[in-house]
Amino acid sequence: MAVQISPSILSADFARLADEAAAVPNADWLHVDVMDNHFVPNLTLGLPIVESLLKATSTPLDCHLMIEDPDRWAPQYAEAGAGSVTIHAEAAKAPVRTLRQIRKLGARSGLALNPATAVEPYEGLFGEIDMLLLMTVEPGFGGQKFLDMVLPKIRRARELIQRHGGQIWLQVDGGVAADTIERCADAGADVFVAGSAVFGADDRAAAVDALRAAATR
Ligand code: DX5
Ligand code: ZN
């Protein structure tokens, strides 16, 4: 299982997204946090900016939809050309249909769980997903403190994934930084989102390399 790093542009300069993307050529993905001020108490960006960003970078986009109606919007991100589209289990009303549409439109399908959402009830959806995202902060803002309470769930999710053949990627998002990434990797995560730890650094590419090295140890 190779380690992948997905810097979150939530902590980047939104007026210079093309430059910010270019500053992390060693990233596997660019994590794009879409927030609608309903599912989470914050508002960020939507489809038009994702479409522009797709033209501005060759790094694949990992779109994390923190929105109330993912069933309506998620397929459009896949259709636009996002490499991965993740919907929240707490928000989706027709997750099977939506996850299938995402795949059919050529993107990887992802399912996200908030810190207090158990993984077991969603095992039945594992056949529909390419990635499981476990939030390690309450979604909505960058720069929050990593929640250690999620570590046992990461381990549990890894066990369930292995039981299902081990193909599903296990992503963690929130408070992932030099001092927390090893714990996540040790618990079984393999895709790491980092916002402030990358775009808050002077040398963003070096921060990506350092996170990758720490997760690989
Ligand atoms: C939070 C977002 C994260 C955020 C992480 O709701 O989903 O992707 O950018 O930021 P850091 O890494 O600063 O915790
Ligand atoms: Zn995110």
Tell whether the torsion through CA atoms of 125, 128, 131 and 136 is positive or negative: negative
Instruction: Go through the domains of the chain in sequence order and give each one's CATH number.
Output: 4-202 (3.20.20.70)
pLDDT digits (tens, 9 = 90+) for 103-160: 999 999 999 999 999 999 999 999 999 999 999 999 999 999 999 999 999 999 999 9
- Ligand 1 centroid vs 156 CA: distance in angstroms? 22
The rounded mean pLDDT for the chain is 98
- Ligand 2 centroid vs 7 CA: distance in angstroms? 9
Active-site annotation holder among 28, 33, 62, 190: 33
In one-letter notation, the amino acid at residue 62 is D
Q: How far apart are CA 54 and CA 112, in angstroms?
A: 22
pTM of the model: 0.98
Looking at residue 196, what is its pLDDT? Answer: 98
Instruction: Kindly state the tokens that stand for 11.
Output: 């902590």
Ligand 1: which of 20, 135, 144, 192 to mutate, most ligand atoms within 8 Å of CB? 144
Query: Which residue, by CA, sits nearest to atom 10 of ligand 1?
Result: 142
Q: Where are the alpha helices (DSSP H) in 37-166?
A: 47-56, 70-80, 95-104, 151-163
Q: Could you confirm whether 33 is annotated as catalytic?
A: yes
Q: Are strands 108-113 and 30-35 parallel, antiparallel or unpaired?
A: unpaired
**pLDDT at 1 exceeding the cut of 90:** no
